[in-house]
């Protein structure tokens, strides 16, 4: 059974309880994607689900969540070393350590009987589910197209900072929230003379 993030949690738990009682075996809940949506629902589920009757697995591509709103500034300037705050480890995500976090990409999903199925990971591992939450978010280009590996992400950030530092001119197309973000950072960097910006 597929769920998008904005489903009603109450309905989920009501339905889940009924489903569990009809079948006496341990159920498997799998969440795909550890961004704000997937991480939030994983945390809530880890605080609610009984591990003796239900397993909870978060499958996410990177070993940390990325706080996207701060990424514009993080990729344009080294000021503040924002990567220390923007790349958020999952250490304290699970309540009472209830659940498993697997760092891998889901490459495909095999549908089974009665709305169950199996997610196939980039590692080759297969994880069966009774309930599947899909929260893979969006893919971005340019500075926000982060690789999955931590070392590669740090190099990606450095390389974009160098591009901005070495640019002779920067043109921003679009004056919405995303376009205004880097503009604001550039203005701050140009006007700040004491490394405090």
Ligand X SMILES: Cc1cc2nc3c(=O)[nH]c(=O)nc-3n(C[C@H](O)[C@H](O)[C@H](O)COP(=O)(O)OP(=O)(O)OC[C@H]3O[C@@H](n4cnc5c(N)ncnc54)[C@H](O)[C@@H]3O)c2cc1C
Residues interacting with ligand X, by CB under 6 A? 32-38, 59-62, 65, 68-69, 71-72, 105-106, 135-138, 144, 178, 181
Q: Closest approach of Cβ 22 to ligand X, in Å?
A: 30
Rank residues 36 and 80 by Cβ distance to ligand X and give the closer one: 36
Rank residues 17 and 125 by Cβ distance to ligand X and give the closer one: 125
Rank residues 56 and 72 by Cβ distance to ligand X and give the closer one: 72
Rank residues 86 and 135 by Cβ distance to ligand X and give the closer one: 135
Q: Closest approach of Cβ 27 to ligand X, in Å?
A: 21
Q: Closest approach of Cβ 36 to ligand X, in Å?
A: 4
Of 30, 33, 88, 29, nearest to 64 by C-alpha is 88
Instruction: Round to whole Å and give the CA distance between 40 and 178.
Output: 24
* HEC sequence for the chain: CEECCCCCHHHHHHHHHHHHHHCCCCEEEEEECCCHHHHHHHHHHHHHCCCCCEEEEEEECCCEEECHHHHHHHHHCCHHHCHHHHEEECCCCCHHHCCEEEECCEEEEEECHHHCEEEEECCCCEEEECEEEECCCCCCCHHHCCCCCHHHHHHHHHHHHHHHHHCCCCCCCCCCHHHHHHHHHHHHHHHCCCCCC
Rank residues 49 and 127 by Cβ distance to ligand X and give the closer one: 127
Rank residues 38 and 117 by Cβ distance to ligand X and give the closer one: 38
Q: Closest approach of Cβ 124 to ligand X, in Å?
A: 14
Q: Give the chain's largest Cα–Cα span.
A: 67
Q: Closest approach of Cβ 140 to ligand X, in Å?
A: 6
Q: Closest approach of Cβ 123 to ligand X, in Å?
A: 11
Q: Which two tokens stand for residue 47?
A: 């605080």
């Amino acid at each position: 059974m597929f769920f998008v993030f904005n489903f009603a949690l109450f309905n989920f738990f009501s339905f889940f309880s009924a489903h569990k009682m009809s079948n006496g075996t341990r159920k498997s809940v799998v969440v795909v994607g550890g961004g704000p949506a997937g991480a939030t629902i994983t945390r809530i589920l880890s605080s609610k689900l009984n591990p003796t009757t239900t397993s909870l697995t978060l499958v996410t591509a990177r070993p940390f969540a990325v706080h996207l709103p701060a990424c514009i500034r993080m990729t344009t300037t080294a000021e503040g070393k924002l990567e220390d705050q923007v790349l958020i480890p999952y250490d304290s995500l699970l309540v009472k350590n209830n659940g498993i976090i697997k760092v891998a990409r889901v490459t495909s999903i095999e549908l089974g009987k009665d709305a169950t199925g199996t997610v196939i990971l980039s590692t080759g591992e297969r994880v069966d589910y009774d309930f599947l939450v899909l929260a893979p978010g969006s893919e971005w280009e340019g500075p926000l197209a982060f690789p999955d590996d931590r070392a590669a992400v740090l190099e990606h950030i450095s390389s974009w900072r160098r591009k901005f530092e070495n640019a002779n001119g920067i043109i921003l197309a679009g004056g919405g929230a995303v376009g205004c973000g880097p503009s604001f950072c550039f203005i701050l960097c140009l006007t700040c003379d004491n490394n405090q910006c």
